[in-house]
Amino acid sequence: MIKVSKNLEDIPNSLIDRKTETRRNTCIRDNKYHQKKDFHQRYKQRDIKESLQSIYNKKCAFCEQKITECTDNNLGEYSSTIEHYRPKSKYYWLAYSWDNLLWCCHRCNQNKSNNFEILANEVSYEEGFKDNIHSYTQKYQELEEPKMIHPEIESILEKLSFDNGIIASKDERVKYTINNCELDRDSLNEKRQTIIDDFRESIIDKKLKNESIKLLLKTLLNEFKNKNNEFLALRY
């Protein structure tokens, strides 16, 4: 997990058009999110997907692996989905809010599901919400103190550790996120371990040749700076 930046003023048109407004108003009127295709499709429009894909550099918001877009009928480990940070099943009025939508892999999305424990008081819909419908998350974070890390708000690099590719943390909220998204699953551990092994082998090779490792360290630094690389938290 690594913090990304989203411009909350650069909102995809599909989130502010008449059709989406109608679906949002219906959810608010009925005090629930409607589990129907025409409601789902409003946050899956092309411009929304393209914007999120660009913001997250084609990587999952939680596990940081590269993901590819495919149809909902062919979802797999590396398939992209649009994740609602606050579950739309409970926070129905946030179903189409720009700051509540993340770019996520199918596996992390599936694991996270509706898990969203909070440490303080749960928020509810209130009049005036529409005045800032795409930028309420920061306010809600302060009121609820959720256990789940929000990758657009928090940097947790200093709270992470990796042992043979296995991600861990002593911070309770980070552990909650790791556990609920299963960020320590075998497929991810193996990918991260491969990066570590390759780096170690390069170091050993330089040592055997009695060569400087400065260039390797510079390369590692550049790999961390390249936002397109997978697993930047590990490289850091």
Q: Are residues 50 and 118 in the same domain?
A: yes
Could you tell me if residue 41 is inside a domain?
A: yes
User: In the structure, what pLDDT confidence band is assigned to residue 7 with cuts at 50, 70 and 90?
Assistant: very high
- C-alpha distance across the termini of the chain, in Å: 11
Tokens of 79: 């398939």
Mean pLDDT in residue range 225-229: 91
Residue in 98, 111, 100 with CA at minimum distance from that of residue 63: 111
User: Would you state the pLDDT for residue 215?
Assistant: 87
Strands (E), 3-89: 80-84
Contact between 52 and 101 (Cβ < 8 Å): yes
Span of 55-64, 182-191, 195-204 with lowest mean pLDDT: 195-204
Torsion of CA 105, 223, 185, 69, to 10 degrees: 20
User: Burial of 186 by CB count in 10 Å (0-12 exposed, 13-18 middle, 19+ buried)?
Assistant: exposed
- Identity of the amino acid at 90: K
Per-residue pLDDT at 75 exceeds 80: no
Distance (Å, rounded) from C-alpha 194 to C-alpha 162?
13
For residues 128 and 10, the model is more confident at 10
Q: Are residues 22 and 139 in the same domain?
A: yes
Give the residue numbers spanning the domain of 48: 13-152
Could you tell me if residue 73 is inside a domain?
A: yes
The number of distinct structural domains making up the chain is 2
User: In the structure, what pLDDT confidence band is assigned to residue 71 with cuts at 50, 70 and 90?
Assistant: low
Q: Are residues 88 and 197 in the same domain?
A: no
DSSP letters of 196-209? HHHHHHHHHHHHHT
User: In the structure, what pLDDT confidence band is assigned to residue 103 with cuts at 50, 70 and 90?
Assistant: very high
Strand-pair partners of 84: 101
Q: Are residues 100 and 17 in the same domain?
A: yes
Mean pLDDT in residue range 170-184: 97
Per-residue pLDDT at 70 exceeds 70: no
Strand-pair partners of 129: none
Could you tell me if residue 5 is inside a domain?
A: no
User: Would you state the pLDDT for residue 92?
Assistant: 97
